Structure 1
Amino acid sequence: MDTPKNTSSTLLERVRTHRLTTTFTLLATLSVGILAGSILTRNVSGKEQSEVNSTDAKPLVIPSPVALSNGFSQIVKQVGPAVVNINTEELPKPSSNKRRRGGQRLPQPSDPNGGGDDDSQQSPGDMQDFFNRFFGGGQGGDDSDGGAAGERRALGSGFIVDPRGYIITNNHVVDKADKIYVKLSTDPDGGPGDEGRPATVIGVDKDTDIAVIKIDTKEPLPTIKLGNSDGAQVGDWVLAIGSPFALSKTVTAGIISAKNRSIDEPSPNGVSQTQFQRFIQTDAAINPGNSGGPLVDMAGQVVGMNTAIYTQSMGSQGVGFAMPANIIASVYNMLIGPEHKVVRGSIGIQFQVAQSSAVNRVYGFSSGVIVGVVTPNGGAAKAGIQAGDVIVSIDGRNIKDGDDLVNDISARHVGSTVKLGYLRDGKQNTANVTIGDRAKTYADITGQPDDTSTPQETDAGEGKLGITVSAIPASLSSKVGIKGGVIVTNVRPGSFADEIGLGKGTIITAINRKPVTDETSYRAIVSTLKSKDDVVFVIQSPIQKNLNSYVGGTLP
């Protein structure tokens, strides 16, 4: 019974021994194979490298720069230094804060300076909201003036037209801005806190959405020339230069797609309103941040200023609009004048913008304008023009339509006289009409103040210093032992006064060494202050007699 057990044990030992031997044999064979393969591969690779002859291969050579036929790069080099980046800051304001100059657009009457009939009044701000949606504030915040809103920053572009620092941009780029900064193409990009050079507004024209701003400079700045936009043709190549989405020095190319485009958003009744905005349309890519930048032709001259886009995506879809250079030049020349505003002529009528050809046939004229409303005390009313008359000529020149009439009348000097030819009951008549100020005529029609004039401040320091003041209460005056001075009742956040630490409840007894005895003397002193002036206040402690302190700074 033991023999089988021994035989089985011996067999098992043999199997184990053979298995180990086989395993080691296989491992040794694989190792030899891998080693041989490596040696053979290395030998083959080395053989290939040594036997391939590449002496006939020529090294690559970078050619010298060449000027391409389109000349885009030369134009950019020529005009690029004159294109600037503009960023603005709007400080938080209380909801009761009055709207200041440069605010929303007012509705415009439909006279030779308004364009439609009396029912075509646009609600205030419709057109400005249209621009703001794409450009004026797209980089941060909403358009709310509520007290809960924080600082709002916006981005735009502009171009230098005078080496002394005068820059043209869009009104909606600087509209509502408390601080405006400009960066030249040569300025470093910098980081947070390096906004650029401070700029001041010289003048704005809301009707054309044009603004002129200025930066101080010790050296002449590079400029760009304005061309004649009347000579621009549909199909001409153009370049748009600006800072879309904060990407400065961006250039896009396209063609002039159309001219004399009106892009007004209609009022609730569907009638277009703005009269002085006839744009060049282009397919050059224009995006938020391009607004205010130049549209340049192949001669390196500005034919337009990029202003708005039609889009459903907040980006370019190939339909952009630029204000023509000829309009820009006319407005600029008025804004840099002594009054820093645009004055347009008016004869005081309203008319329908578009009318059926049947109207022309029934009333017996092929071109001209039917008077809808005559403004009382306006030039037309005083000359005997009546509703229903058809104006057909100006100083003997036949007019085509309402746009033709508007352009002619608005360009004339206030106080000058024009000879109008008109039809009444089919009979030809003439009248000498005195040109009036459109802004004043408009104010008479709407009952709203002339928005082109500088508003009078109820407190002279509110605009310059950012504070309102009042007389010191008798109880406080006796407590601190002073007979004169004023007390600060409100400080606007982010204003000059706020930045230098002039707080609410502060008692001011002198400014720049001139005594402040009451509100009248305070306003008289403040009215003489200018930008860049040093301003020092003598402050009386409200809790301790004869304790004065001095607070000052430099006006922005």
Structure 2
Amino acid sequence: MYSKRQNIKKYFLPFIVSLFALSLILGYTGNAKAATSARELEQSLTRVSEDVKLSVVSITTVKVFKHPATGGYHGDQYGRGRGDQYGRGHGGSRRDRRGGPFDDFFDKFTPKAPPKGEFKTQSLGSGVIVKIDGETGYILTNNHVVADTDELKVRLSDKREFDAEIVGTDEQTDLAVIKIEGKNLIAATMGDSEILRQGQWAIAIGNPFGLTQTVSVGVVSAIGRSGVGIANYENFIQTDAAINPGNSGGPLVNIDGEVIGINTAIFTRSGGYQGIGFAIPVNMAKAVLRDLIDKGKVTRGWLGVAIQNMDESLAEQFGVEVTEGVLISDVQDGSPAKEAGFERGDIVIGYDNKEISDVDHLRHIVAQTEVGKKIKVKVLRKEKETILTVKIGEQPSDLFALGKSSIGNDLGISVQDLTEELAKSFEFEGETGVVVTAVEPGSSAAQADVKEGDLIKEVNREKINNLVEFTDALKRTAKGKDILFLLRRGMHTRFVIIKSK
């Protein structure tokens, strides 16, 4: 027995000691590896920052006012307008006045007490050199940074300053291209935003509050953000990299130092960084850059249809099971879609061999299609799949943006025949239907966003010419069944569902 215990002590205790020593060694090795990884990441971020900063510029714009408003100007210690809870300044740019929590966030430095007569206001933004042609450097920035300016200056990281010229602007994406003439300019490398993934590193570089060449680091919080209300075409990269007033137009880059986006806005209730920033994807910026340099304007593809998203209620009304895809609520006369045979009520589920998920997806993919190209579009028509071939047209410059309605729950409307006077008043000449003259607050119609002045063109897919036909169509609707209206409001036509109780 004693001998056995001696053997256990002899072999087991050295094993425990060895195991403990090994754990210390492994722990040290693990910590060493972690430290090495942290240093490698730090070195990567430092290298990217140092390289990309050479292409990032500070943009100063000057606006001359010849008839200043009377009264004092109330600013803060930086000479900025006080702004509201969403970070908007008072008396700022056109974007400032548009409203919404995602408005222009770059800084406005204005004098506290403008003198009588002519005076100037100065604004600061950012940009990035993305193309060099000889001694011409092309700079990407935001439209709202350079729009409506009288003087435009660019300052490089090496402190050289240049007068800049606007090459072209695109308000629909809030992008602009300006150019400078100079030697030894350095262009940033453009990446590919199509392969971007949530969680990847994101580095924002710019001039927040006029503090030049500021770098902040975060991740890609989300991709494909739309419905933000900043621009007509939205497909934003969302990031938590600190973006503040003055970062507008600066680059968002990846860990390889490639530009993946152009910083454009923040969501804020304080006027500063709150962890949510937005950047325009670089692939969208590339297309705008190319068009503005080559043509001075952006050319977009066009179908000529009014569209809306599908939902369960609409799917039930149209007898289909899909809730993805895009419902066509109107087809414009003389448009490419009309010539290709598109019809009201078609549901677009495919475009050029790509599945279509929603309105924003279709709008983006059509806009990016080359004008004149023939595209096969898959639609559901009366529950059957149909392939239509359409020759994409050029989007009109005065194209009206389609407004959005909420679908809501009781009829609660008064209507009357469309008279000549009403047709002129509401610009419905040549149309048929009945005009909504009153909407009861809280009714199903009100919740479906039916408004006074709307023209009801169809009830449950039946064309309506007058009040008698409208009443008959309602009588044919089974009690308790939802009612499908086709409404026209201004230039827009769309389907809405009136919920029955």
Give the conservation status (yes or no) of the 8 Å contact 1:371–1:387: yes
Equivalent residues in 2 for 1:162-201 (5 A)? 162-163=131-132, 164-187=136-159, 196-201=161-166
Alignment of 1:84 onto 2:57: yes
- Once the two structures are TM-superposed, the CA of residue 67 in structure 1 deviates from its matched residue by 6.0
Deviations 1:375-400 (A, max 9, x none): 12111122332211222333454433
Alignment of 1:291 onto 2:248: yes
Deviations 1:185-216 (A, max 9, x none): 1016xxxxxxx311001111111111110011
Counterpart-to-counterpart distance in 1, 2:146 and 2:231: 20
Q: Which amino acid aligns with 1:181?
A: K
Structure 1 residues 292, 372: CA separation in 2 closer, same or farther (over 3 Å shift)? same
Show the counterpart of 1:220. Answer: 184
Q: 2:347 aligns with which of 390, 407, 419?
A: 390
Deviations 1:423-448 (A, max 9, x none): 332233333322121125716999xx
- Once the two structures are TM-superposed, the CA of residue 225 in structure 1 deviates from its matched residue by 0.5
- Once the two structures are TM-superposed, the CA of residue 252 in structure 1 deviates from its matched residue by 1.1
Structure 1 residues 138, 222: CA separation in 2 closer, same or farther (over 3 Å shift)? same
Give the conservation status (yes or no) of the 8 Å contact 2:101–2:267: no
Q: 2:306 aligns with which of 350, 362, 365?
A: 350
Alignment of 1:140 onto 2:97: no
Give the conservation status (yes or no) of the 8 Å contact 1:161–1:168: yes
SS in 1 for 2:271: coil
SS in 1 for 2:337: helix
- Once the two structures are TM-superposed, the CA of residue 402 in structure 1 deviates from its matched residue by 2.3
Alignment of 1:422 onto 2:379: yes
Structure 1 residues 441, 91: CA separation in 2 closer, same or farther (over 3 Å shift)? closer
Q: 1:309 aligns with which of 261, 266, 270?
A: 266
- Once the two structures are TM-superposed, the CA of residue 417 in structure 1 deviates from its matched residue by 2.4
Give the conservation status (yes or no) of the 8 Å contact 1:135–1:156: no
Q: 2:293 aligns with which of 321, 330, 336?
A: 336
Q: 1:360 aligns with which of 311, 315, 325?
A: 315
Give the conservation status (yes or no) of the 8 Å contact 1:131–1:308: no
Show the counterpart of 2:172. Answer: 207
Counterpart-to-counterpart distance in 2, 1:231 and 1:420: 25
TM-score by length of 1: 0.55
Q: Which amino acid aligns with 2:192?
A: N
SS in 2 for 1:333: helix
Structure 1 residues 444, 244: CA separation in 2 closer, same or farther (over 3 Å shift)? closer
Deviations 1:46-93 (A, max 9, x none): xxxxxxxxxxxxxxxxxxxx9654222111111111111001001115
Give the conservation status (yes or no) of the 8 Å contact 2:207–2:246: yes
What residue ranges of structure 2 are gaps of 5+ in the alignment? 1-37, 69-93, 404-501
Determine which structure has the larger strand proportion and give its number: 2
Structure 1 residues 296, 409: CA separation in 2 closer, same or farther (over 3 Å shift)? same
Name the larger-Rg structure: 1
Give the conservation status (yes or no) of the 8 Å contact 2:208–2:246: yes
- Once the two structures are TM-superposed, the CA of residue 333 in structure 1 deviates from its matched residue by 1.2
TM-score by length of 2: 0.61
Show the counterpart of 1:241. Answer: 205
SS in 2 for 1:329: helix
Aligned length: 332
SS in 2 for 1:439: coil
Counterpart-to-counterpart distance in 1, 2:95 and 2:344: 30
Give the conservation status (yes or no) of the 8 Å contact 1:244–1:289: yes
What residue ranges of structure 1 are gaps of 5+ in the alignment? 1-65, 96-123, 189-195, 266-272, 447-556
Structure 1 residues 128, 186: CA separation in 2 closer, same or farther (over 3 Å shift)? farther
Counterpart-to-counterpart distance in 2, 1:179 and 1:165: 18
SS in 2 for 1:215: strand
Show the counterpart of 2:361. Answer: 404
Give the conservation status (yes or no) of the 8 Å contact 2:95–2:103: no
Give the conservation status (yes or no) of the 8 Å contact 1:345–1:413: yes
Q: 2:193 aligns with which of 229, 238, 241?
A: 229
Give the conservation status (yes or no) of the 8 Å contact 2:106–2:247: no
Equivalent residues in 2 for 1:445-460 (5 A)? none
Give the conservation status (yes or no) of the 8 Å contact 1:285–1:318: yes
Counterpart-to-counterpart distance in 2, 1:148 and 1:326: 45
- Once the two structures are TM-superposed, the CA of residue 288 in structure 1 deviates from its matched residue by 0.7
Q: 1:258 aligns with which of 210, 218, 222?
A: 222
Give the conservation status (yes or no) of the 8 Å contact 1:134–1:314: no
Give the conservation status (yes or no) of the 8 Å contact 1:135–1:172: no
Structure 1 residues 232, 428: CA separation in 2 closer, same or farther (over 3 Å shift)? closer
Q: Which amino acid aligns with 1:348?
A: G
Counterpart-to-counterpart distance in 1, 2:231 and 2:266: 16
